[in-house]
Amino acid sequence: MNIWIIMAIGGLLTFGTRLSFIFLLDRIRVPDWFRRGLRFVPVAVLSAIILPELTSPNGTLFLSWRNPQLLAGLVAILVAWKTKNVFLTILAGMAALVVFQLALGL
């Protein structure tokens, strides 16, 4: 798919999401379980992507203290929990990855 098409559709999806309740408030009633379920969608989807990226960086399970992605991911989780800051989390995670890769001689 062309990058411009991805952007156009991605932009419309994002704009539609932001407009959703502002536009619909007086028009339809959304079931309660649907609104409650919304909260879990990003958490569930993103976790399902994160965990394999950390535990299986090369496609096969690698649960070991010699796995730098796993260690750096744990550092990032800690920083995200303490600071709630996206940029600091990325910075700390990248720094940790580089340090662990050097320390493990990779």
Partner 1 sequence: MIAKMRKHEFWSGVRDEAPILLGVVPFGLLFGALAISAHISSPAAQAMSSIIFAGASQLIAAQLVGAGTSGLVILMVVFVVNLRHALYSASVAPHVRHLGTAWKLLLSYLLTDEAYAVTITHYNREGDAPDRHWYFLGAGLTLWSAWQASTAVGIFIGAQIPANWPLGFVLPLTFIALVVPALKDRAGVAAALVAGLVGLLATNFPYKTGLLVAALIGIVTGLLIEGRQK
Q: How far is the CB of 68 from partner 1 (least distance, A)?
A: 9
Q: Which residues of 35-72 are buried (b: 16+ CB within 10 A; e: fewer)?
A: eeeeeeeeeeeeeeeeeeebbeeeeeeeeeeebbbbbb
Q: How far is the CB of 62 from partner 1 (least distance, A)?
A: 12
**Given 28, 31, 39, 105, the residue binding partner 1 (CB under 8 A):** 39
Within positions 16 to 35, which residues make up the interface with partner 1, using CB under 8 A?
17-23, 25-26, 33, 35
Is the CB of 43 or the CB of 65 nearer to partner 1?
A: 43
Alpha helices in the chain (DSSP H): 3-24, 32-38, 40-55, 68-83, 86-103
d(CA 77, CA 46): 13
Binding site for partner 1 (CB under 8 A): 1, 3-11, 13-15, 17-23, 25-26, 33, 35-56, 61, 69, 72-73, 76-77, 80-81, 84-87, 89-90, 93-94, 97-98, 101
